Structure formats: C-alpha cells, structure tokens
Structure 1
Amino acid sequence: MNEPARHHRPVRRADLTTLLDGLSATEPFGREEVAEATAAAVISHGRSGQSDSLVDLADRVGLQTLAELWRDSEPDTLAGALWALYLLRTWCQTNGEEVTRLWRAGRPLAPADEVVAGVADFADPQAILSLAESVLSGAYRGDFAVALERAAAFFRIVSLGRIERADDGPDGDRARELASRNAAVAAGLTAAARRWRAAPLD
C-alpha cells in the first residue's frame, strides 16, 4: 500500500526563533534534543522535494539563529553537521581569499581529499564558494552522506593548509590550534556520514 503523502511545513524564521525563546533556561540534555529535532526537521523539509533550496537558510534566518540552535552540537551529530555546512558557506562568503590560500597550501598534501571535495582545478574565491554552496545543495538534493564527505575532505585540506603556512611563534600556535579544530570537524563529518548511511531520515 502507498503511504499517504506527508505535508511538510515551511521552515520560517518565526519557527526557528520561537524554539530559541526558551533555550536559555533549558538543561543541556534538552538543548541537545532541540538541536537534533530542529536539524531533522530542516533536513526532512529540504529533502522533501516540496521546497525551494535551503542553501541560503543562514541568510534568511541569520547565522546567529542557527548558531544558537546548533553551534554546541558535536560535528558527528545531524545538528553539528548542518552547523558545519552553513558555517563553511558563510566563511567562504566572507573570507574567500583566506580560505583559498589555505586550500591551495593544503591540497598538494591530500590529493585524494582534493578529488572528493571537488573544487575546480584553478581554485579562486568564487570556486571555493561554489564548492560550499554545492555541498549544501547536495545535502538537500542529492546524497547527504556524500555532501558530508565532501565537506570533511575540504576541512581536512584546510587543516593541512593551516599547518603548512604556520610560522613559529604565537601566530603559528594559533594556526595549529585552528588546524586541529578543522581536523576535528572533518572527523566528525565523516562519522556523521556513516551514521546517515546506517539510518537516513528519508
């Protein structure tokens, strides 16, 4: 028997901000539940085929709104993975030159990850932004696990680029700290991809 069609409510700014109203008084466990529930709702809505692309969700509701919902989630969770994807897009929008320099420094050190990420051969800020947007588009229109793996590959290369460009001294220490964070996000996204393949929402 065919299941009746499910109707998905639009993801509106009001829907997300209403959820935020009570978060300050919510216990950590409750916050995790809210984060995962909202991430699952966004993914289900975006992949329903009944909506416009949610690539620009951060533009529509504000990155800070998504940060309050998802920033504290581990990157191997659905909420943490979505946060990483939207943060990556915003980073590529606002700091494209820096991201491009890090990518160019790191990609010779990880040729397999370069192929997985799928940045154009001549990487410039526009190509880097196109990668971030195609990853988000793929998360909603294609294989979500593949999108996460592409983002993970990108973060690994950026991590290597930071290390490659790091100098001695305080600035170098900061670069290595950020490289470690990028590598941790990459590992989390890879784990999230495995989890999705084991139990997808759709």
Structure 2
Amino acid sequence: MSEFRRPVRRPSASFDNIAGTSGAAEKARIAHATASALIARARADESGESTERLIAFTADHGIDEIAELWSAAPAVSLPGALWRLYLLQLAIHNDPQTVALLYERGRVELATVDTLVAGAPAPASPEELVVVIDEILRGAFRGDFAIALERAAAFCRVHASGATHVADDYETTETERASELTTRALRLSTYARDLTACASAWRAGILT
C-alpha cells in the first residue's frame, strides 16, 4: 500500500532528540510517556505553536522518529492512537489525489453518517482533504481528543468504502490493482476500529 510506505528519513530533528533505548518494557514506557507529554505540552501552549509544529512534523522530518517511538504500541493506547493519526495524515499528504478519488467514491456509496462525522466538504478536493486531516490532528492536540479520533475513524471508513468499490471495478480487468485496493480498505477499516475503540477508552478515562 504505497501511501503507507515510510518516506526517506530526514535526520535533522526529532521529538526533542529523544535517545534510542532497548528492551520492550522500556520502549513501552517511553512510548506512553512521550505521547502523554506531547498532548500535555500542546494543550498547555496557549499560542498554538507547539500544535502547529506537531502537525508539520512528518512533512519536515519524515515518520521514522515517530515510528521508533509509537509504532509498536498497542492499538488501543494513547501512543497507538497518535501513531494511527500520523499514518493517516501521511497517507493523505503523500497522495491526496488518490485519496480524494477514493473518498468521493466512498461518500457516494456509503449510507451512513460517517461523511458528516469526518467533516470533509462534499465533494472534497485533494487540497481540502489535506486541510481536513490537519484539522483532525489539530483537534487531537488542542480540542476534544475523542471527537478527533471519531472524525479520523469516520474518514477511514469512507475512504475504505471507496477503496472497496473501486477494487470491485478493477476485479476482472486489473486484478493486481484490485488486490492493492482491497488491502488498503482492510487496513483503513482496521484503523477505524482501533480509533473508535481509543475514543471510547479516552472518554472512559482509561486510554494511556
């Protein structure tokens, strides 16, 4: 799935240049600690500058530093939720044209409230979807975290629906393309499930 491939590493910066560590328990501790610290820092910064830096982080530095911190965290955890939000943001920023095509197909085909929850225009241009995902990430750092996760989950479901329907279109003519789209839909559906569970856990006060 091309939009989830890791970009070239840009080693010039990281989250406060956090040093690497070894040992599963210590990595888990750091994952949870850094996720909590970043949320707390962004919410404490009334200027919003910390949030804007966090939103722009992957564009400036790639995703390797984030992956090192959070990619192995449990799906239903604070670092797991942030990891999925950053993956979704990266996918949209890397290929907004394809995402817009699939999202629009999903919007047309999906008879649920997900398009309203996601909050994208109808129809949405590639540029507008980039704005939407950045807004969702901004909401995670400064707004209602559970609502941001639910918006991201809804976005994933609409996108997954579009990928599924376009995969069906290609089934008899381009089987490899159909398989790629089916894989994408499955991954997005999994992210949607995970993010929804994280939102529920956050509201219950048990997401750490």
Specify the code of the residue in structure 1 equivalent to 2:130: L
* 2:34 is the counterpart of 1:33: no
Q: Is the 8 A contact 1:102 1:161 kept in 2?
A: yes
Match of 1:47 in 2: 43
The superposition leaves residues 3-60 of structure 1 with CA deviations (integer Å, 9 ceiling, x where unpaired) of xxxxxxxxxx4654333x22xxx23333222211111111111111345123223345
Q: TM-score, normalised by structure 1?
A: 0.83
Q: 2:95 — aligned with what?
A: 95
Matches within 5 A, 1:1-202: 13=13, 16-19=16-19, 21-22=20-21, 26-50=22-46, 52=49, 53=51, 54-108=54-108, 109-166=110-167, 167-168=170-171, 169-199=175-205
Q: What is the distance in 2 between the residues matched to 1:110 and 1:79?
A: 31
Q: 1:200 to 1:136 in 2, by over 3 A?
A: farther
| Matching residue's letter, 2:65 | T
Seen in structure 2, the aligned counterparts of structure 1 residues 29 and 171 have a Cα distance that, compared at 3 Å, is farther
- Offset of 1:200 from its aligned partner? 7.1
Structure 1 unaligned runs (5+)? 1-12
Q: Could you tell me the percent identity over the aligned residues?
A: 35
Question: Comparing 68-77 with 126-135, which one deviates more in the overlay?
Answer: 68-77
Give the drift of 1:115.
0.3
Q: Is the 8 A contact 1:110 1:157 kept in 2?
A: no
Which ranges of structure 2 fall in alignment gaps of 5 or more residues? 1-12
Describe the SS at the equivalent of 2:139. Answer: helix
Query: How far apart in 2 are the matches of 1:176 and 1:77?
Result: 26
The runs of 4+ residues in structure 1 deviating greater than 6 Å are: none
The count of residues paired between Structure 1 and Structure 2 equals: 186
Q: Shift in Å at residue 120 of structure 1? A: 1.1
**Structure 1's 85 and 110: CA in aligned 2 closer, same or farther, altered over 3 A?**
farther
Shift of 1:134: 0.5
CA distance in 2, matches of 1:149, 1:49: 24
CA distance in 1, matches of 2:16, 2:69: 8
Q: TM-score, normalised by structure 2?
A: 0.81
Task: Report the RMSD for the aligned CA atoms in angstroms.
Answer: 2.1
